[in-house]
Amino acid sequence: MLALQKEFRLTPLGAFGKADAKPQTASLPPLPDIANDELGFFIQLGAAVKANPIKPADEALFAQFARIGLTKDGFDPSKLDPARRKGLLHALQHGPSVAISAFQSAAVQRDGWSWATGLDDFGFDYPLRALVSGPYLGGQGEKEAMYPLRYTDSASKVLTGENAYTIKFASPPPVDAFWSLTVYNAGDKLLVDNPIGRYKVGSDTQELVIAADGSITIPLRHAAPDGDAAKNWLPTPAGPFYLVLRLYQPRAEVLKGAYPLPEVVQDK
């Protein structure tokens, strides 16, 4: 895969096919150094606003922020009186909870899995937009891709590498593109090194074992299982982890909830 990635080149259309074409270089100015400024978020937000024009549909709402010193020219904390300054600090403390709560109203809970919907058009749902651009790490509309997340097992206990689990798909997920199941470390949301260098299993996994009835059984555990079970083994970190099931171009069965998502069962 790395060798293939090194073969890609990004070339301006006007220079395509020219042997001496050189990639264009550009850089963005760094965000202001906010050190330990308690209003640092708003300072950097102001810098970002200066570099990104306000959408026409948002201009009326954004104009209200002038009362706290935030305009298209940046953030000016000198405009704040003590009460407004106290209010902004309060907002910084509790604002993230507003965004996280958006997941509860926008998420579909199904078979122990959850994912946010409505990503094709956020409209004026700003908390959901903030959630998707932040802890949800981006996402496409559900007709293009769906990303069910799983943090607990069938007994509603948090997934951890201290236990061994089995997840069994009754049949491969019905998609028109591809699917994959990935394990992430719960602490930093990153992949975790493992002895076989496998971080996901899916439709492109070589030698994935599919049973005669079309089912796919995947062992989830920190240590390798014995025998044939190792062929579908998806290694987990030693501590807490979570799963992301990616379904690209999901078919109607997925979109309508007719396809049952598999349970994650702790091995006895």
- Residue 224: its pLDDT value, please? 93
* Residue 189 scores a pLDDT above 70: yes
Instruction: Give the model's pLDDT for residue 126.
Output: 85
Does residue 247 contact residue 254 with C-beta atoms inside 8 Å?
Answer: yes
Residue 131 above 90 pLDDT? no
- The one-character DSSP state at 206 is T
Per-residue buried b or exposed e for 163-174, using 16+ beta carbons within 10 Å of the residue's own CB? ebbbbebeeebb
Rounded to whole angstroms, how far apart are CA atoms 140 and 132? 10
Give the pLDDT mean for 122-126.
83
Q: Which residues contact 204 (CB under 8 A, 6 or more apart)?
A: 178, 180
Q: How far apart are CA 156 and CA 63, in angstroms?
A: 45
pLDDT recorded at residue 85: 95
Output b/e per residue, 44-61; b: 16+ Cβ within 10 A.
Answer: bbbbebeeeeeeeeeeee
Mean pLDDT computed over 139-159: 91
Query: pTM of whole model > 0.85?
Result: no
Higher pLDDT, 69 or 123: 69
pLDDT at residue 135, as a whole number: 58
Hey, what CATH topology would domain 143-266 get? Jelly Rolls (2.60.120)
Q: Could you give the percent of the chain with pLDDT greater than 70?
A: 97
Torsion over CA of 114, 253, 143 and 249, rounded to 10 degrees?
100
d(CA 117, CA 160): 27
The answer to which of 90-104, 141-155, 213-227, 233-247 has the lowest mean pLDDT is 90-104
Residues 6+ apart with CB under 8 A from 173: 179, 245, 247, 250, 254, 259
Q: Which stretches within the chain are classed as H helix?
A: 2-5, 40-51, 59-63, 82-106, 126-133, 252-255
Band of the pLDDT at 137, cuts 50, 70, 90?
low
> Residue ranges of the domains in the chain?
40-105, 143-266
Per-residue confidence (pLDDT) for residue 220, from 0 to 100: 97
CA–CA distance, 224 with 230 (Å, rounded to integer): 6
Mean pLDDT of 134-147: 78
Res. 260 pLDDT band, cuts 50 70 90: very high
How confident is the model over 2-46, as pLDDT tens digits? 899 988 877 888 888 887 777 777 788 899 999 999 999 999 999
Which pLDDT band holds residue 138 (cuts at 50, 70, 90)?
low
Query: Using CA atoms, how far apart are residues 135 and 149, in angstroms rounded to an integer?
Result: 12
Whether pLDDT at 103 is above 70: no
Closest C-alpha to 220, from 262, 252, 178, 253: 262
What would the mean pLDDT of 91-97 be, rounded to a whole number?
Answer: 89
